[in-house]
């Protein structure tokens, strides 16, 4: 198990009694850091909490559309860029041309670059729960008028009981990170590894990120990951895994803003959740900024951000339906689909629509007249 950097011993002092800030962002990964970035120069007291130091906890293969990274000035974190996907079934291999590129990146560098674009304060603390607008942590309590849960799939600050696997709408993913090089982003649609899911190998310059994801939380992925790593002659070292929500959840609840995995913002069929965490993080941050500079009240921000997130329910539902059918398609149907996407016109059409669910233009600065999430949707 890696030892994560966090404040320990005498450094782990208690927060001042009655500590209060204007905005409290819980979670300092893609979603939380994207929210904080939008609040720069707001003049507000913005506090970001995470149980680990920023950039410490990578659980993903860290691949995202290049344009998203560039538009957020995160280009220096990029390790390798790909213009196609190499997709394998047991019977065939096809190259799917992309109309845009994916890049793998270094998680620690990306988080550092995002954080440098905000002027918030950061503290390590484990968030334990909430009563009203007071958030309880292992270092004491903090209150805020605006509270963001960017804590990932556990949705710690939600009202009611937290979702728990295996009954919740969660996928599971596990990968290994051996040293090695590769030229392609590769996917395996192969029942030998997993029926309801897929395997992958994402090269990142001198490292490979090889793993298996299952859309069925009851289907374990450790043995399939070991098998895939062995099949591509890679060492099964440096394991990383997590649960991945695959259904949209209310993005506002009981006065709290939920962003990224805590709102189920990960795309169900592909388990691509970085781009969407950034996308909804930007949208949420712009709504909060409009509250801080007096353009709207908290109620309006909650309503507008909730509607913005829910407005994406159709593509999420379609991708969920496709996800649920994967396990039944293995064989001739899957081979036919993989071959069809090997045609440039088909793959370009599909991946353009796919990118449009959370387009990179949303990362660009909002035009002066636009407000909040509307600026992202524009």
**Site residues for ligand FAD per CB under 6 A:** 27-32, 49-52, 57, 59-64, 126-127, 150-152, 154, 156, 173-175, 211, 241-242, 244, 260-261, 266, 271-275, 277
Query: Which of 23/62 has CB closer to ligand FAD?
Result: 62
Give the nearest distance from C-beta 186 to ligand FAD in angstroms: 13
Query: Which of 287/371 has CB closer to ligand FAD?
Result: 287
- Residue number, nearest CB to ligand FAD: 273
User: Please, what is the Cα angle at 48 between 42 and 49, to 5 degrees?
Assistant: 170
Q: What's the CA gap between 124 and 6, in Å, rounded? A: 6
Query: Which of 36/61 has CB closer to ligand FAD?
Result: 61
Give the nearest distance from C-beta 234 to ligand FAD in angstroms: 15
Give the nearest distance from C-beta 91 to ligand FAD in angstroms: 26
Query: Which of 39/244 has CB closer to ligand FAD?
Result: 244
Give the nearest distance from C-beta 50 to ligand FAD in angstroms: 4
Residue-by-residue DSSP string for 180-241? ---SSEEEE--TTT-SSEEEEEEEETTEEEEEEEESSTTS--HHHHHHHHHHTT----SEEE
Query: Which of 52/310 has CB closer to ligand FAD?
Result: 52
Query: Which of 128/293 has CB closer to ligand FAD?
Result: 128
Give the number of other CB atoms < 10 A from CB of residue 218: 10
Give the nearest distance from C-beta 104 to ligand FAD in angstroms: 7
Closest CA to 102 of 74, 63, 58: 63
Sign of CA dihedral 67, 76, 203, 324: negative
Query: Which of 27/196 has CB closer to ligand FAD?
Result: 27
Q: How many CA atoms lie within 13 A of 169 on its CB side?
A: 21
Strands (E), the chain: 20-26, 46-50, 63-65, 78-88, 93-105, 121-124, 127-131, 134-137, 140-149, 170-176, 185-188, 197-204, 207-214, 239-245, 252-253, 256-258
Give the nearest distance from C-beta 25 to ligand FAD in angstroms: 10
Query: Which of 296/359 has CB closer to ligand FAD?
Result: 359
Give the nearest distance from C-beta 182 to ligand FAD in angstroms: 14
Give the nearest distance from C-beta 230 to ligand FAD in angstroms: 18
20-26 vs 140-149, strand pairing mode: parallel
Q: What's the CA gap between 239 and 97, in Å, rounded? A: 30
Tokens of 37: 């970035």
């Amino acid at each position: 198990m890696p030892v994560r950097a966090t404040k320990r011993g005498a450094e782990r002092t208690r927060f001042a009694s009655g500590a209060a800030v204007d905005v409290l962002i819980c979670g300092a990964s893609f979603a939380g850091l994207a929210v904080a970035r939008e609040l720069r120069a707001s003049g507000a007291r913005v506090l970001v909490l995470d149980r680990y130091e920023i950039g410490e906890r990578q659980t993903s293969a860290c691949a995202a559309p290049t344009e998203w990274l560039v538009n957020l000035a995160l280009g220096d974190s990029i390790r390798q860029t790909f213009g196609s996907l190499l997709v394998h079934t047991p019977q065939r291999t096809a190259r799917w041309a992309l109309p845009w590129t994916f890049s793998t990146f270094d998680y620690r560098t990306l988080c550092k670059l995002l954080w440098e674009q905000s002027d918030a304060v950061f503290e390590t603390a484990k968030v334990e729960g909430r009563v009203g607008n007071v958030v309880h942590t292992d270092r004491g309590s903090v209150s805020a008028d605006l509270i963001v849960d960017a804590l990932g799939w556990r949705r710690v600050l939600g009202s009611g009981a937290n979702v728990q696997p295996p009954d919740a709408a969660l996928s599971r993913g596990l990968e290994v990170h051996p040293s090695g090089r590769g030229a392609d982003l590769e996917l395996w649609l192969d029942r030998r590894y997993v029926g309801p899911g897929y395997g992958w190998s994402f090269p990142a310059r001198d490292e490979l990120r090889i793993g298996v994801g299952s859309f069925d939380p009851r289907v374990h992925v450790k043995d399939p990951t070991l098998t895939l790593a062995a099949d591509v002659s890679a060492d099964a070292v440096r394991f990383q895994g997590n649960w991945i929500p695959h259904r949209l959840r209310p993005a506002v609840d009981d006065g709290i803003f939920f962003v990224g995995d805590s709102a189920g913002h990960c795309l169900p069929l592909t388990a691509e959740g970085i781009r969407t965490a950034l996308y909804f993080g930007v949208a949420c941050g712009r709504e909060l900024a409009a509250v801080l500079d007096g353009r709207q009240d908290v109620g309006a921000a909650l309503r507008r951000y909730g509607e913005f997130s829910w407005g994406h329910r159709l593509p999420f539902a379609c991708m969920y339906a496709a996800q649920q059918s994967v396990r039944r398609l293995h064989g001739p149907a899957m081979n036919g689909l993989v071959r069809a996407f090997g045609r440039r016109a088909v793959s370009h059409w599909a991946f353009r629509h796919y990118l449009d669910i959370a387009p990179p233009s949303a990362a660009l600065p909002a035009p002066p007249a636009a407000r909040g999430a509307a600026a992202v949707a524009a």
